[in-house]
Structures are given as C-alpha cells and as structure tokens.
Structure 1
C-alpha cells in the first residue's frame, strides 16, 4: 500500500465513524448538549467536516464544498461566513443545529468525496510540499493530512460518546 492508499483508508474510517455516530438520530438528539459547555453531535460532526473541507480545499488549491455546493445556505447558521468552529464559544457551538441527520451527513459525505478525490491522486513526493509557512517548522501536506485525520477521529469519537450518553438516558 502506498501513502495515498493509507490516507484514503484513514479518511474512510472517519467517514464510517461519522455515520455510526449520526445515522438514525433524530434532530433533538443531534442538537442536544449534555451541558451548557458541551458540544452536540451536530456541532462535532459539522466542525470536523468544516475543518476537513477547509484544510483539504486549501491544500488542493480549490474552493470549499461548503461554498461551491451551497451547504452554507442549506445549514443557515448564525455564524460568520467561513466559520469552521475553531475557537467557538459555548454559545456559538450551541447555535450549530441541524434539522436532520440527512443534512449533516450530506455535507460530511460531500467533503469525504472531495477528500478522497484529492488524497487518491497524491504521490509520496507531494507530501513534502509546504502548505502553511506560518508555523515553525512550516507545515507540509503530509503533516497537515495527519493533523486533520487526528482531529477528525477525536471529534468522531466524541460524537459517538455523546450519542451513547443520550441513548442511555
């Protein structure tokens, strides 16, 4: 297996974890926060998809599917244009609500497809390309992809935890 295959497999695992956390949940459970400082399943999955969308689009030199496929207006969130959830206050996180699992998964699926298209076309030498020189050392594509995978898996696991807590109540 080459690095493109490894990255594709990692993003497939995120996709599966997201669906396991969201499939079949009614909107009231998707939007429930276990307390005022906690994140809902909706926020966690929206956030992981937004970060993935933002970072992959930047690395690929493309626009985010959030904008090109008009997910921004479908979600109609009371947030700044382009918000990914990074640095959200509790009130901002609480404002991320969805009307259905289909909306949330539709966006996550669209991001997943774009991500797979991108990573499947990579070769090992492309992973050394610097994608963010604002850090020391500069961030390479390989490091950025690992960062997105790690962040997404954590949030998918958190969403699964919240789902489990809600199902046990």
Structure 2
C-alpha cells in the first residue's frame, strides 16, 4: 500500500461514518444542544465538510464545491461563503441549520472532489510545501493528514452526540 492508497482509505472512512450519524438523526436532533454553548450534530458535520472542502480545494488549486456546485446557495446560511466554522461562537454554531439530505449531499460532493484529487498524487507530491506560515512549513502530506484527523474527530463527536440525544 502506498501513501496515496493510505490516504484514500482514511478519507474513505469518513463518508460511511457521517451517513451513519445522519441516519440516527431527525431534524430536531441535528440542531439540538446538550447545553446552550454546545456544538450541534449539524454544525459538526457541516464544519468537517467545509474544512475538507476548503483545505483540499486550496492544495488542489480548484474552486470549492461550496461555491462551485451551489451548495452555499442551497444551504442559505446567514454566513459569508468563506466561513468554515473555525472559531465560531455558540451563536454562530446555532446558525447552521440543515437537514440530513443537504448535509449528506454536500459531504458526498466534497468527498468525491477529495478522492479525485488524491488519485492524482504520487509519493513525491506529499513533500511539497503548501503553507509557509508555520515553522516548520507544512507539506501537502501533513496538511492532508491534518484534515483527515480533524474530520475523523468531528464525525466521532457527532456520533457520540447523536447517541446521547437518542437517550435523552
């Protein structure tokens, strides 16, 4: 197994986990909070998709599915199209309201773009520096693993939250 296949496998684990969470949630569960400052399932899933879309499209040199494929218009959130959810306040988290079909459809589009890009990579590509703002500078391989790690954490948080909400 080479690095590309490893990344494809890792990213391929997000999609079924995300859809499993969505199958557990009705619209009320998607936006429910365990306390007023808590994240919602909808925000967690939207955020992980937005970060993946933002970061992978940047390194791939393509426009994000969010704007290119009209997902921003379909979600119609009262947020700037550039927002990914990073650093959101509790109030901003509450603005992310979307149904399972919309969240799942958007993630599927992001996943397809990600997979298409990953299939173009060779091992040497992963050493390319993509962000000089850090010390040491961030390589493509590190960026892709960072996004993968973040997405898996968020889908796990969403699964836990969905399970807790079913018990309440």
The verdict on a shared fold, with TM-score over 0.5 as the criterion, is: yes
Q: How does 1:45-124 map to 2 (within 5 A)?
A: 45-98=45-98, 100-124=99-123
Aligned to 1:136: 135
Report the Cα distance in structure 2 between the residues aligned to 1:33 and 1:97, rounded to whole angstroms: 12
Mapped contact 1:24–1:101 kept (Cα < 8 A):
no
Give, in angstroms, the shift of residue 80 of structure 1: 1.9
Q: Does 1:146 align with 2:145?
A: yes
CA drift at 1:24 = 4.7
* Alpha-carbon distance in structure 2 between the residues aligned to 1:143 and 1:90: 30
User: How far apart are 1:153 and its partner, in Å?
Assistant: 0.5
| Residue-by-residue CA offset, 1:6-28 (whole Å, 9 max, x unaligned) | 00000011111111111252111
Alignment of 1:4-43 (within 5 A): 4-43=4-43
Q: Secondary structure at the match of 1:135?
A: coil
Distance 1:23 1:164 in 2: 11
For residue 164 of structure 1, report the CA deviation from its aligned partner. Answer: 0.2
Q: Single out whichever of 84-93 and 15-24 deviates more from structure 2.
A: 15-24
For residues 23-52 of structure 1, the C-alpha deviation after alignment (integer angstroms, 9 at most, x for no partner) is: 252111111111111111100000000000
- C-alpha contact 2:67 2:81 (8 A) present in aligned 1: no
Kept in 2, the 8 Å contact 1:132–1:140? The answer is yes
- Cα distance between partner residues in 1 of 2:8 and 2:146: 14
TM-score by length of 1: 0.97
SS at match of 2:82: coil
Distance 1:81 1:120 in 2: 27
> Hey, what's the Cα distance between the residues in 1 that align with 2:37 and 2:153?
18
CA distance in 1, matches of 2:164, 2:97: 18
Q: 2:165 is matched with which residue? A: 166
Indicate whether 1:3 and 2:7 are aligned.
no
Ranges in structure 1 where 5+ consecutive residues have no aligned partner: none
Contact kept? 1:45, 1:159, Cα under 8 Å: yes
Question: Aligned-pair RMSD on alpha carbons?
Answer: 0.8
**Number of aligned pairs?**
168
